[in-house]
Amino acid sequence: MNKKEILLKALEDMIKIRIIEENISKEFKKNKVLSFLHLSIGQEACATGVAFGTKAQDNFFGNHRSHGHYLAKGGNISRMIYEVFGDNRGCCSGHGGSMHMLDKNVNFLGSVPILGSSLPIASGIAMSEKLKKKNNLTIVFIGDGSAEEGSFYETLNMAGLYKLPLLIVIEDNKYAVESDKFKRKVNGYDFKSIIEKGLKANYNRVDGQDFLKVFDASKKLRKKILKDKSVGVLHLDCLRFSKHSGAEISTKDQKSKYRKNEYFEIIKKDPIKILKQNIIRTGMSLIQIEKIINKLQKKYNKIFYTTFNKINIKKV
């Protein structure tokens, strides 16, 4: 695939995540669905960039906000929709719900919402792959909040000690629920020194709103981890457009006090907008791109409703 093809394929995946989640949000509100929901809208470039920068044989492991990770990895869309709405045809038979995604067919090996839990589990998965002599990576997605659990540091040390092919992706949207990082971290907290100097792991921090940057950084880290037999951390600065949990994606939340002035950043740094600009640089016109987007939106709306219409929402 040349660069333009990669970008267009990424565009499709990001639209897929956006449209599926927007529809989930809409139908949750309309039907007053009683279930947990953490949307990844705004953070699509993180999941997509990492999925593109790694390989099909690599494993993903997720957290409470993992629809995007699952979809970017190629997880079955219908089974995710069923699961989120509590239908027993879902990827976890309706037992799990939105916070528990699973599609072993595409090496999406689960998501768990207890913060920090996923890290040592993912290192165990990475170790099992290593012991089986597979030449692949295990990628675990966590938030900036989860990186405050002791298991983050313990896992980095342990996985470093055992030389495990593990990539920890921190999606740093600055918040744990509505508590911002300045309330939770020491002034001057320095990931780079801790991880690189202290724990001797590979570390890279890039703009998580920009697919291309995430893609490049993941590709490089993948190579390095497999070559040097060392752990990696990819730190992505990103923006959560939705409320922490629930179906609300509104300017009301985006403008609320706890976010300070983030609203303007959200307007400026929509990952799909940034990707469009990158595609324009390959020679396509905005009109051509909009046409493609329009088609993709229709395609994924249809896919969503084909499954959703089969759900008896009152009976799930």
Site of interaction with Mg ion (CB under 5 A):
143-145, 173, 175
- When binding is defined by CB under 6 A, the residue of 53, 96, 143, 271 that contacts ligand TPP is 143
In sequence order, what DSSP letters do the residues of 103-140 get, joined into one string?
BGGGTEEEE--STTTHHHHHHHHHHHHHHTT----EEE
**146 or 155, CB closer to ligand TPP?**
146
- The least distance separating ligand TPP from the CB of residue 184, rounded to whole angstroms, comes to 9
Burial of 300: CB neighbours in 10 Å, binned 0-12, 13-18, 19+: buried
Residue 45 and residue 18 in contact, taking contact as beta carbons nearer than 8 Å: no
> Which of these ranges, 40-48, 68-76, 127-135, 141-149, lies near other proteins under the rule CB under 8 A?
141-149
* Residue with the CB atom nearest Mg ion in the bound state: 143
- The least distance separating ligand TPP from the CB of residue 115, rounded to whole angstroms, comes to 4
Size (the chain), residues: 316
The option from ligand TPP, Mg ion, other proteins, none interacting with 188 (CB < 5 to 8 A, set by class) reads: none
**256 or 301, CB closer to Mg ion?**
256
**40 or 307, CB closer to ligand TPP?**
40
> Which of these ranges, 5-13, 142-150, 186-194, 202-210, lies near ligand TPP under the rule CB under 6 A?
142-150
- When binding is defined by CB under 8 A, the residue of 68, 75, 96, 232 that contacts other proteins is 96
Q: Is there binding between residue 64 and ligand TPP (CB under 6 A)?
A: yes
Q: Is there binding between residue 150 and other proteins (CB under 8 A)?
A: yes
Beta-bridge partner residues of 237: 172, 207
Q: Is there binding between residue 124 and other proteins (CB under 8 A)?
A: no
